[in-house]
Amino acid sequence: MYRFKPYKIHLHGKQVEITTPWVMGILNVTPDSFYNGSRYDKKTEIAARVHQIIDEGAKIIDIGGYSSRPGANEVSPEEEYERLALGLSVIRQEKPDAIISVDTFRADIARRCVEDWNIDIINDISGGILDNHMFDTVAELQVPYILMHMRGTPATMQHHTQYGNVTEEVIKELNAKIDTLRQKGVNDIIIDPGFGFSKTVEQNYEMMNHLEYFQSFGMPLLVGISRKSMIYKALGITPETALNGTTVLNTIALMKGAHILRVHDVKEAVEAVKTVTLAKQSSTI
């Protein structure tokens, strides 16, 4: 069991410390996300989900308007922003003080969400690959940036799983991007190893087994494995029945020092955080 290291991030000029792991609740304003239970596209549904996320104890709402699952339909920038604007308007009405992360790989969408809706964090699944203006945009906006590892695109990523040592190579590729971000003046970076993105099921578990190595970055570590194929394919089940496996892996991630869990099921993740935190506090090792 690894000691949790607190980190500070800046949200609109205010320094906020992550002293115990945070839970990030997923709000997909899309019709085609891989998990049916995470799709919301009507105001009443979005409002109910927003209240559920916050009331069950999440610190962050992560809103996305473009499904990144393999085979998902292409979404124009206009449609993506329209979906996000609908969801963001509801969040700001229902929970105006909520910390919001926007899941987008498009720099212009990220800028509009910061400028129009005062969002707090940019969550880029592509790590700058899909829009070469993203790093400059983040540097200009000065908002925390979730840097996720991926190769290729959502449509081609599973053709890019050739690694010698998956953990070492992911860390190396992330390090190169961190250097670029630092040179551009980006100060708040959150690391996401990218479970399920350009990794096989076996590589995902190998990376989970060595998750503590990602603490070498000296940055907050986000883990997003909620109901993913590394669980349901390994167990021969479906995303709808993958909650138990999700909780098991979230617990392992917490024991290895994860700072943020990105999840569909907030209540269960919050309970995992509480129990692992209690276990660590009781440990004499």
Distance CA 181, CA 276 (A): 33
Angle between helices 134-141 and 107-117 (to 10 degrees): 20
Distance CA 62, CA 123 (A): 8
Q: What angle do CA 12, 16, 21 make, to 5 degrees?
A: 130
Closest CA to 260 of 58, 50, 24: 24
CA distances from 2 to 14, 204, 211, 247, 273 (A): 28, 20, 10, 18, 14
- Size of the chain, expressed as the number of residues it contains: 285
- Residue 122: phi and psi, rounded to 5, are -105, 125
Active site residues: 228, 262
The DSSP letter of residue 268 is H
Q: Give Cβ neighbours of residue 188 (< 8 Å, ≥ 6 apart).
A: 9, 10, 143, 144, 145
Q: Give Cβ neighbours of residue 1 (< 8 Å, ≥ 6 apart).
A: 255, 279, 280, 283, 285
Distance CA 210, CA 139 (A): 30
The DSSP letter of residue 166 is H
> Using DSSP, how many helices (H) and how many strands (E) does the chain show?
9, 10
